[in-house]
Amino acid sequence: MKIKISSLSEGRHLYDFEMPASEIELPIDFVGNVIVNVKLEKTKDQIFITSNLQCKKEFLCDRCSTNYEDDLKTSYNMFYVYDVAHRTEYDEDVVTVISKDTDIIDLSPDVKEYLLLAVPMKNVCGEDCKGLCPKCGQNLNLTQCDCEIEQIDPRWSELKKIFRN
């Protein structure tokens, strides 16, 4: 995912990239192709890039332990500035200083980083996922078990007596 910037005119330019996730060294649970849509705006002092990323990833549901595949989508902005003095104008996470002699910008490291950061902390196969039975471990999405799961902590049993009255 390289963009040749040395001969690029000032103004807005659009790029579309598609490549296997393995080519940018993403883990094997990223499956299929990574799709990147880039809007590049070049001025005499800087290059501003907006990238929209999309790929598929295999997940393990945190509720029912079922494997599922889902789309992972994210976007990021990056400023490439030619002068170190301009670096302080932006958040340090979204600015890179390049020299006037830079010929090519490689987006692959940023694409990889932002896709890894887009992985959710909690993975659920569906909003209506019922999870596993805490007693027998059956997947409650597939079958209903006969376990009685209402277990009251004995420290709270006195409160239950109060609410009955």
Per-residue pLDDT of the chain (165 residues; tens, 9 = 90+): 888 888 888 899 999 999 999 999 999 999 999 999 999 999 888 889 999 999 999 999 999 999 999 999 999 999 888 876 655 666 666 787 888 888 889 999 999 999 999 999 999 998 999 998 888 888 888 888 888 766 677 777 777 777 765
* Closest C-alpha among 58, 66, 56 to residue 29: 58
The pLDDT score that the predictor gives to residue 135 is: 81
90 & 147 share domain: no
**Residue 127 CB burial class (10 angstroms; 0-12, 13-18, ≥19):** exposed
112 & 155 share domain: no
Tell me whether strands 104-106 and 46-60 are parallel, antiparallel or unpaired.
Answer: unpaired
16 & 77 share domain: yes
The pLDDT score that the predictor gives to residue 70 is: 93
34 & 107 share domain: yes
* Closest C-alpha among 84, 75, 70, 86 to residue 126: 70
78 & 107 share domain: yes
> Residue 7: inside a domain, yes or no?
yes
> Residue 123: inside a domain, yes or no?
no
The pLDDT score that the predictor gives to residue 67 is: 93
The total domain count for the chain is 2
Q: What tokens were used for 47?
A: 């290059």
72 & 48 share domain: yes
Q: Which domain holds residue 93?
A: 2-117
What string of DSSP letters covers 40-66?
A: EEE-SSEEEEEEEEEEEEEEE-TTT--
Report pTM: 0.77
Tell me whether strands 95-97 and 67-81 are parallel, antiparallel or unpaired.
Answer: parallel
112 & 134 share domain: no
- CA dist., res. 75 & res. 89, Å (int): 21
The pLDDT score that the predictor gives to residue 97 is: 82
